[in-house]
């Protein structure tokens, strides 16, 4: 019988080789687990497959994933990005760096609607990057705010990785959503503060917009404010229905889909072609996500049944470290994983292993879950191998190099790392609001 330590090493080596060869993530993880599991257990391994499928494809919580993804696709095609962008510009006014500030706010909201990092960055970048470059903004500032704002999508509810964490650890999605609000707000404030200060110290980074020759009329301002408010109200309705106990997170996803269709009608973008494209793109993203969930869940369940949780718990106990240092060790492991795999896989592999240990050490599972989300957000955007960097490169103009993107994201990554450390040291930033609203 192979020891759990040797088995873990074999599994990790096989994963690295499979990813290096470009194998599909879900099939690679599931195939590796089944192949090694068959050699280890024999036919008994195949009992894991039906139980894993039942817990993933028939989970009411995971039903929220296709609903939120479809809502995000409808919203990005209904003109909501332009509406929010114009409204925020009108509110902020003609100040230095106003466009970058609008980008952080709007891109974070668009990222939240899409619910995953890659789609959030690409959608945000396609809307905001070119206008910033055309207005003479510093290339690194423009790239950095899009990456930072779009990446916030997994921290601002509704978030697909949060749903996955709650499902894999049997915790409340609603508490996860509410617990993320204060850290998300702190992050947005820090990012905006950095933009304001950096533009004040170096005005060349963000030239003032020229005074328009024709000022908007009162009616045009009213319509701009109305469209922006309607867009914001949909996000409030989705999250508010959960907080007030009117709907479960899955049901709020259905509310969001209906609201997105209504907004598309109001913005006069509702066309069969638009709905078809949104549905096809959502189906593609959902099918990819579900294959990843199944493959990663098979891998995780096999590893758990082999006793990896006891191995990790015994290892941390043998080290004799204070509990907070063990939490930091977990953060470091997830940070390194984020260089080579995406947010879905990190959550599905690490959450079932690390969360019970964190709870046994006396920590709140929701707090640990938000730490994981904050960590993943940083990891996938950290040079040189954070995969989100390559999403931005894919939509950037030809003159933008990877070195430009690396340099652009560094100050924003440091700010997000500061938020992670702050939340780690002050758990009440996560736990206070859910306890007030849901207990």
pLDDT in tens, 124-174: 676 677 777 877 888 888 888 888 887 787 888 778 888 888 888 888 888
Residue 310's pLDDT is 67
Residue 439, SS3 per DSSP:
coil
What confidence score (pLDDT) does residue 114 get? 64
Mean pLDDT of the chain: 79
Region of poorest pLDDT, from 191-205, 228-242, 399-413, 424-438: 228-242
Per the listing, tokens 């009117």 go with 246
> Can you tell me the distance from the alpha carbon of 344 to that of 418, in angstroms, rounded to the nearest whole number?
23
Q: What angle do CA 125, 131, 134 make, to 5 degrees?
A: 125
Confidence of residue 215 (pLDDT cuts 50, 70, 90): low
User: What confidence score (pLDDT) does residue 426 get?
Assistant: 93
Q: Is this structure's pTM higher than 0.85?
A: no
CB under 8 Å to 170, separation ≥6 — which residues? none
pLDDT of 1 > 60? The answer is: no
SS3 assignment, position 270: coil
pLDDT band at 209 (very low <50, low <70, confident <90, very high): low
- Which tens digit of pLDDT belongs to each residue from 375-408? 988 887 877 666 677 777 777 777 778 788 888 8
Whole-number pLDDT of residue 385:
63
Contacts 24+ apart (CB under 8 A), 49-56: 49/298, 51/301, 52/294, 52/297, 52/298, 52/301, 53/294, 55/297, 56/290, 56/293, 56/294, 56/297
Which residue carries 């921290």 as its tokens?
A: 155
pLDDT at residue 18 in the model = 77
Q: Cα dihedral angle (321, 325, 327, 333), rounded to 10 degrees?
A: -100
Distances (CA, A) of 225 to 89, 91, 229: 10, 9, 6
Task: Please write the tens of the pLDDT for every residue from 298-324.
Answer: 777 776 677 666 666 676 666 777 888
pLDDT(344) > 80: no
Residue 25 has pLDDT above 70, yes or no: no
């Amino acid at each position: 019988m192979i020891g759990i330590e040797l088995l873990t090493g074999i599994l990790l080596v096989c994963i690295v080789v499979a990813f290096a060869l470009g194998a599909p993530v879900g099939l690679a993880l599931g195939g590796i687990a089944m192949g090694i599991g068959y050699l280890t257990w024999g036919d008994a391994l195949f009992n894991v497959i039906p139980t894993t499928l039942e817990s993933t494809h028939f989970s009411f919580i995971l039903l929220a994933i296709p609903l939120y993804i479809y809502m995000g696709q409808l919203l990005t095609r209904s003109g909501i990005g332009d509406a929010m962008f114009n409204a925020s510009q009108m509110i902020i006014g003609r100040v230095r760096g106003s466009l970058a500030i609008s980008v952080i706010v709007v891109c974070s909201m668009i990222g939240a609607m899409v619910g995953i990092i890659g789609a959030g960055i690409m959608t945000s970048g396609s809307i905001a990057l070119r206008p910033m470059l055309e207005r003479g903004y510093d290339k690194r500032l423009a790239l950095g705010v899009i990456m930072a704002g779009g990446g916030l999508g997994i921290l601002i509810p509704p978030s697909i990785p949060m749903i996955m964490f709650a499902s894999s650890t049997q915790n409340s999605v609603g508490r996860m959503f509410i617990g993320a609000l204060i850290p998300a707000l702190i992050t947005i404030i820090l990012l905006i503060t950095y933009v304001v200060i950096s533009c004040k110290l170096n005005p060349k980074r963000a030239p003032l917009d020229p005074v328009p020759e024709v000022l908007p009329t009162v009616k045009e301002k009213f319509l701009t404010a109305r469209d922006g408010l309607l867009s914001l109200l949909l996000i409030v309705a989705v999250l508010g229905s959960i907080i007030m106990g009117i709907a479960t997170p899955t049901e709020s996803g259905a509310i969001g889909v209906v609201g997105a269709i209504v907004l598309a009608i109001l913005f006069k973008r509702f066309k069969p072609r638009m709905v078809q494209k949104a549905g096809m793109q959502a189906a593609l993203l959902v099918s990819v996500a579900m294959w990843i969930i199944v493959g990663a869940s098979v891998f995780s369940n096999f590893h758990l049944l082999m006793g990896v949780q006891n191995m990790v718990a015994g290892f941390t106990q043998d080290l004799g470290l204070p509990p907070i240092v063990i939490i930091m060790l977990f953060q470091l492991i997830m940070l390194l994983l984020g260089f080579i795999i995406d947010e879905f896989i990190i959550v599905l592999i690490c959450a079932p292993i690390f969360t019970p240990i964190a709870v046994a050490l006396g920590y709140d599972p929701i707090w640990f879950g938000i730490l994981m989300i904050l960590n993943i957000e940083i990891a996938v955007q950290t040079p040189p191998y954070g995969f989100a960097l390559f999403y931005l490169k894919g939509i950037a103009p030809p003159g933008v190099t990877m070195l430009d993107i690396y340099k652009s994201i560094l100050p924003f990554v440091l700010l997000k790392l500061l938020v992670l450390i702050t939340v780690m040291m002050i758990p009440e930033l996560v736990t206070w609001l859910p306890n007030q609203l849901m207990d």
